[in-house]
Structure 1
Amino acid sequence: MLDSLKSFVHSFYVLLFESDRFKVRLSISCDLDFLIYECPGLWASDAELKELTDMLLEVAKAGQDGKEMPEYGCLLGDREDLKTRVISIAIDKNEKRAVGFSAQSYVDIVSGNFKERLLHLGLIFVDPSYQGKSVSYLLAMFPNILISIKSGFRDCWVSNVTQVPAVYGLVASNYFYTYPGTSRKFEQGFYHRYLATQLYKNHKSVFGVGEEAEWNSEMQIIENSYTGGADHLKKSFAAAPKHRNPVVNEICEEHLDYERGDDFVQIGKLSPSTFIQLFKSKKSRQTRLQMSINILIFSLAAMILPVLRWFIPNQQVSLDESCDLPLVI
């Protein structure tokens, strides 16, 4: 109990004086903890970044099942890349090892006087022994909830690049105003098309797409996508994990050329409805209670912190580097 209190005080202190990032530990079940790092390239030591990258590589190696490893993004351990990343890692408490991760990233879309920040949902890897247990869902949703709370529950545009029906369906079902989505009658808005096109033209390296690829703006599909470091992630339709909704699987099979290596680029919004979707998922009563406590504390912090910052002058604060107490609830 005392350790949990110390952890909360330290995390609250970091949020107060270093609001550009967070590092927290969420405990929602007897089996799993979730470590969440915002922009670790800005603040982590070389040793911390190496430890983080080693955990990511451990999970990716298990997820690739003997195939070659992808050679881009967070898996390279590059500090510059990790300056914009939001990394979430699922830790098996009993085995004390990483069993899944998501690597989201902030992407600034700038064109003339137009500027919009996207949250790109990025890679999700889950150890085969943990697949089908909602781990990928929690890895995607927990950092999104923290980001939403931190921003005062303002809507945020998100992007996702995938050929995997299970991931496509997860994004379409849990984010607001998503295109392409779960309906065969797609409805593309101006922002969908514009943001997806700018993301493809100027930020292909974020998701490992090479110059050989071609862009279908109407369907938001990258044709011949797997040529820029993500080559070893390419899957056949038969091998790609399926979604529980057969319509989602049919949409992917109908519109994507898996032999060529196509990807959808989905654009949607992170909004407070994310919370509703999270609690609609099939979780135990104990898990929902612990999730509620985590969300309540962060919500209270989000309301209190702006008031405290108003009375505290902007200053550089030196934290004890040995004080590593992530939030545990």
Structure 2
Amino acid sequence: MIRPILHSLRRDYMDVRLRNERDRMVRIVEHPGRWMSDADLAALSRDLRTIAARTLPDGGLTYGVFSGDRAHLSDTIITLVTLRDGTPIAFNALAIMTLDTVPDPTPVLHLGLVMIDPDQQSGGLSWVLYGLTCFLLFVRNQFRPIWVSSVTQVPAVVGMVSNMFSDVWPKPDADRRTLAHVLLARRIMDNHRHVFGVGQDATFDEARFVITNAYTGGSDDLKKTWDSAHKHRDAVFNTFCAKELDYERGDDVLQLGRMDLAALRHYLTRDVPASAVLGVLTTSLFVGLRHLILPVFHWFDTKRQFSILRPAKDADDV
């Protein structure tokens, strides 16, 4: 127990592992392009390409983590699921977007590209690939709400985002959009289209939060027909997507929501399997040590400078 705790304190970026059932391992790597060695980064990219080849055998993606550019992995968090023998079976490339807002910039976690080996798609991986990283970042952020975005045409993903996060817009029967939703969506579409592979020729319907003709900026191979798009078990989300999106043209819905205490409670009680809750909470403890517990010790350290507060010259004077 002591060794992983001490190791977590030395990390500048998150790099955690936990077991998912008996035969799977989950690794979450934050900003790998900033600190990983060339060899380790190449191995990580190779695992991502292996999963992509299994998912899209006839196509190749050219944007984001598949570009081969270290810079694209500098503002990305990779959630990688492997079998015990190391075989990669699923990943999520979550991007961190910093939006130019007033009075301060707003960080937004973009759920990004998710791929699952076709042989593993019924393996209950959604809670790992979509919610786990957001949950851990929320804990590390000292339980301050974090904005989350998603761009998709898949009804199952629309339903998952709608149910997992708070204040989501748009979704079926949503109360209303707020000014914050509109302003953040404008910033995303103005400056961050490259994150999800949408070209400049795509238009954004601000009233519905629908991106029309979305598959022309590198994500062309991800375009799905209505029949091939994975449906949600709740038909209301399937009806919503069929009504709002033109699948022949290639439309996406841009959803914005927040990870907050209400979403955290829902995630732990409804999304995470009971057998995995202890492992998730233990991992969140390691991740939160630097930002939740260490400041308490620093507070009582009279020999350390804190901003304009200076330590006493003589410890006996304190």
- So what's the TM-score if we normalise by structure 1? 0.86
Indicate the SS of the match to 2:143.
Answer: coil
| Paired position in structure 2 for 1:245 | 234
Q: What code does the residue aligned with 1:202 have? A: N
> Aligned pair 1:219/2:211, yes or no?
no
> Aligned pair 1:103/2:93, yes or no?
yes
Residue of structure 1 aligned with 2:279, choices 279, 290, 299: 290
| Paired position in structure 1 for 2:111 | 121
In structure 2, relative to structure 1, the CA distance for the partners of 1:313 and 1:207 (3 Å cut) is: farther
Whether contact under 8 Å (2:30, 2:76) holds in the other structure is yes
Residue of structure 1 aligned with 2:75, choices 57, 61, 84: 84
Deviates more, 1:289-298 or 1:166-175: 289-298
> What is the Cα deviation at residue 29 of structure 1?
2.1
> What is the Cα deviation at residue 115 of structure 1?
2.2
Residue of structure 2 aligned with 1:26, choices 18, 26, 39: 18
> What is the Cα deviation at residue 215 of structure 1?
1.1
| Paired position in structure 2 for 1:325 | none
> Aligned pair 1:68/2:59, yes or no?
yes
Whether contact under 8 Å (1:225, 1:263) holds in the other structure is yes
> What is the Cα deviation at residue 106 of structure 1?
1.0
> What is the Cα deviation at residue 282 of structure 1?
6.1
Q: Using the aligned pairs only, state the percent identity.
A: 33
Whether contact under 8 Å (1:165, 1:243) holds in the other structure is yes
Q: Give distance in 1, aligned partners of 2:182 and 2:75.
A: 23
Larger Rg: 2
Residue of structure 1 aligned with 2:28, choices 28, 36, 51: 36
CA RMSD after TM alignment: 2.1
Q: What code does the residue aligned with 2:134 have? A: N
Q: Give distance in 1, aligned partners of 2:54 and 2:226.
A: 20
Q: Give distance in 2, aligned partners of 1:190 and 1:235.
A: 31
Gap regions ≥5 residues in structure 1:
315-329
> What is the Cα deviation at residue 120 of structure 1?
1.0
Q: Give distance in 2, aligned partners of 1:127 and 1:55.
A: 12
Instruction: Give the number of aligned pairs.
Output: 303
- So what's the TM-score if we normalise by structure 2? 0.89
Q: Give distance in 2, aligned partners of 1:134 and 1:209.
A: 29
Deviates more, 1:156-165 or 1:71-80: 71-80
In structure 2, relative to structure 1, the CA distance for the partners of 1:295 and 1:305 (3 Å cut) is: same
Residue of structure 2 aligned with 1:279, choices 268, 271, 279: 268
Whether contact under 8 Å (1:100, 1:136) holds in the other structure is no
> Aligned pair 1:140/2:130, yes or no?
yes
Whether contact under 8 Å (2:109, 2:146) holds in the other structure is yes
Q: What code does the residue aligned with 1:148 have? A: F
> What is the Cα deviation at residue 113 of structure 1?
4.8
> What is the Cα deviation at residue 276 of structure 1?
2.0
Q: Give distance in 2, aligned partners of 1:101 and 1:129.
A: 14
> What is the Cα deviation at residue 188 of structure 1?
1.4
| Paired position in structure 1 for 2:296 | 307
Whether contact under 8 Å (2:162, 2:168) holds in the other structure is yes
Q: What code does the residue aligned with 1:108 have? A: T
Whether contact under 8 Å (2:16, 2:283) holds in the other structure is no
In structure 2, relative to structure 1, the CA distance for the partners of 1:192 and 1:284 (3 Å cut) is: closer
Indicate the SS of the match to 1:281.
Answer: helix
Q: Give distance in 2, aligned partners of 1:305 and 1:182.
A: 43
Residues 183-262 of structure 1 mapped to structure 2, 5 A cutoff = 183=173, 187-262=176-251
> Aligned pair 1:163/2:170, yes or no?
no
Larger RCO (alpha carbons 8 Å, 6+ apart): 1
> Aligned pair 1:13/2:10, yes or no?
yes
Whether contact under 8 Å (1:173, 1:182) holds in the other structure is no
Q: Give distance in 2, aligned partners of 1:97 and 1:52.
A: 12
Deviates more, 1:267-276 or 1:150-159: 267-276
> What is the Cα deviation at residue 294 of structure 1?
2.8
> Aligned pair 1:46/2:33, yes or no?
no
> What is the Cα deviation at residue 8 of structure 1?
3.4
Deviates more, 1:237-246 or 1:294-303: 294-303
Q: Give distance in 1, aligned partners of 2:83 and 2:261.
A: 29
Q: Give distance in 2, aligned partners of 1:296 and 1:111.
A: 31
> Aligned pair 1:265/2:254, yes or no?
yes
Q: Give distance in 2, aligned partners of 1:182 and 1:132.
A: 25
Q: What code does the residue aligned with 1:233 have? A: L
> What is the Cα deviation at residue 307 of structure 1?
2.8
Q: What code does the residue aligned with 1:29 have? A: E
> What is the Cα deviation at residue 283 of structure 1?
5.6
Indicate the SS of the match to 2:267.
Answer: helix
Whether contact under 8 Å (2:5, 2:286) holds in the other structure is no
Indicate the SS of the match to 1:266.
Answer: strand
Whether contact under 8 Å (1:28, 1:291) holds in the other structure is no
Q: Give distance in 2, aligned partners of 1:173 and 1:150.
A: 22
